[in-house]
Structure 1
């Protein structure tokens, strides 16, 4: 194993690299770093991107200056403010983060077409020698880091022979780290690490492994695959192989929008939803956002998922298939409301409502008549949805509001609904 950068590492690697070379790029405290880039007077100060404590916000990202106080991503904002009362708070600007994320991913794609973006601030990339270039994978990673730094932000990179090794390596030295695990060094690198260092092992799996006296990845690597299947089910043998550094999952090019596996949206509320009317309105509002995104991408979904979050730790989801694919938010919402009784009863506070759409296909052509739908007894309002999309595109999201929007006006948490932005 070699860590860091410089001539010492070149010698220790015993170049040239033999076999697969997979990197994981992780942008350092991405959202906070962008804010410090755009606000020079914030540099060197604790910056927190997230929702306000008064509106039940959550930390999206904390700068490294704020992390010294114990602040971290996904922490409730009230707790972060208590830990770091002098921090600069900002709700975030998703469009700006997405702009820089695209620039970074473009840099990586200049080096290899095999780039698998897993979030707004993370991507795997394959730089196996001889596949796209004969250049050293280490030199490629250094060049990526240099070009990202010229954008005004920084990244950490893990380089190894598999996704598992690259992901864990990327977290070893942050910020601005480059951790390299050369071929043949995987087992030695992984063995002393706690099992929770490997993605896919959550608290429940960690507890089960501890019951089996498995505390490190080295312990896990020594276990029999059949034994782990009995203990953990089908995932058990896979975890053993990954702990041995034997994962073979390839880097896959990031799906184009039309190849997306799901489209979803969620909304967090500053005060709990308690009544059926409020929850119905929230489902309708979130479903409308999902429907708009489906139509924009030319997708129709066959499955709807409803997600409810009751507090910081507890959430429930349910899923149901539709009779045929659709991009009509009214049908999405009706399906999601049909799942509600299995997850919730009036009076139980809900802080977050999410709706997802998946299993895309063409299906039967949608009926565009304003007077009949597939049952022939209701008006098909899809044409109205298309008209609403166009008005909002031309005049802004607030150009048209429905009763459900007015019912919930002012009840948003101001935490941005986004993925990524962590370490």
Structure 2
């Protein structure tokens, strides 16, 4: 590794985040098995405490099965408003201390401390930051310090709960070697099954497969997987910024005052934006609606929302913003919808009240859109003929 720049990358992950937030508001939940998700038996588990995991409960499990495995657990409805608030609290603490931060999801962060060891010592600096997060937010958090994002993320799982690890520079491959291939990010069920049929069950064995063979086996992703198995990952820590956004807008052929049509366009645009969020595996924390009147005056309003990619949540807020915006009774020439404050995450984490059927409905609709385009399936109101 002579000549290779020594990077210092930290992966922070809030422990059982939803459960920890619930315990902040109710200390009686401490040390008890806690399961968060939809109340009905057809709902799914969004999060569960370590105490519940000992009974075999895990995220995305049907609630009916979770109740059977752990009937003594405390079952709670999710509260995305609260989770979003506490996520922002932790984000602000980290950003006040570290110049380069990537908010990977609602509850995990990458920090690039490269070069800071000359002044502070990355190990002690990160340990102090962990203490500060716990002290100021009340939330337990685990981390791993390594030379790249891949190793730091994998090692954080070994640091949990409420722990810390450091993988010394040059020891990345050795650390990964004995781990099961399922621990490697990017190895899903199909890839895992394929590799196991070849007798590859550990990352060490995966690292010994020549790159050309991996390319033949899995294409470009095989090359990337081979490099990861050898502990190599050059992906940068992408600075988090509230300015990242996804938006869609429509300028009409003819200015209109038809409220049914404008409402339909608002629904159509919001659905498209929500689909793009889910396609990119992101959640948003802010939505903006824009109007341009016939005289070219342009107005907009935005609102903070619980982190979500749920059509229903975004549509309700978009309609509320539109009602506040449209106050002139003038012809409208353009309408737009934009979401921002983006973080990584999946739509399902905001569907605490949804049944398995509703979750599958969203997934089925998105599958159709990915194959045939975002207009392939939408609410009927969004299909109103343009005027």
How far the C-alpha of 1:152 sits from its partner, in A, is 1.4
Q: What is the SS of the residue equivalent to 1:213?
A: coil
Cα distance in 1 between the residues matched to 2:371 and 2:134: 46
Kindly indicate whether residue 124 of structure 2 is the aligned counterpart of residue 83 of structure 1.
no
The 5 A counterparts of 1:154-303 are 154-260=140-246, 263-264=273-274, 288=315, 295=336, 297=338
With normalisation by structure 1, the TM-score equals 0.62
Matches within 5 A, 1:391-406: none
Q: 1:36 and 2:23 equivalent?
A: yes
Q: Is the 1:220–1:243 contact (alpha carbons within 8 Å) kept by the matching residues of 2?
A: yes
In structure 2, do the counterparts of structure 1 residues 203 and 313 end up closer, same or farther at CA, with 3 Å as the change threshold? farther
1:337 and 2:366 equivalent? no
Q: Please say which of residues 208-217 and 170-179 is displaced more in the overlay.
A: 208-217
Structure-1 separation of matches of 2:57 and 2:121: 38
Q: Residue 246 of structure 2 contacts residue 339 of structure 2 at CA under 8 Å; is this kept in 1?
A: no
* Aligned residues between the structures: 295
> 2: distance between equivalents of 1:170 and 1:284?
33
d(CA) in 2 for partners of 1:313, 1:337? 15
For 1:345-401, what per-residue CA distance to the aligned partner results, in whole angstroms no more than 9, with x for missing partners?
A: xxxxxxxxxx9xxxxxxxxxxxxxxxxx9xxx9455xxxxxxxxxxxxxxxxxxxxx
**C-alpha contact (below 8 Å) 1:129/1:135 kept by paired residues:** no
CA distance in 2, matches of 1:72, 1:22: 29
Task: Indicate whether 1:139 and 2:124 are aligned.
Answer: yes
Distance change (3 Å), C-alpha of 1:87 and 1:223: same
Q: Provide the TM-score with structure 2 as the length reference.
A: 0.67
Which of 117, 128, 134 is the equivalent residue of 1:149?
134
Please state how far the C-alpha of 1:22 moved relative to its aligned partner: 0.8
Q: 2:46 aligns to what?
A: 60
In the alignment, the residues of structure 2 paired with residue 77 and residue 25 of structure 1 have an alpha-carbon distance, to the nearest angstrom, of: 29
Specify whether residues 195 and 291 from structure 1 end up closer, same or farther in structure 2 by C-alpha distance, changes over 3 A only.
farther
* 2:274 aligned counterpart, secondary structure: strand
CA RMSD of aligned residues (A): 3.7
Alignment deviations for residues 126-157 of structure 1 (CA, whole Å, 9 cap, x no partner): 111249x7221211221121012112110110
CA distance in 2, matches of 1:159, 1:260: 32
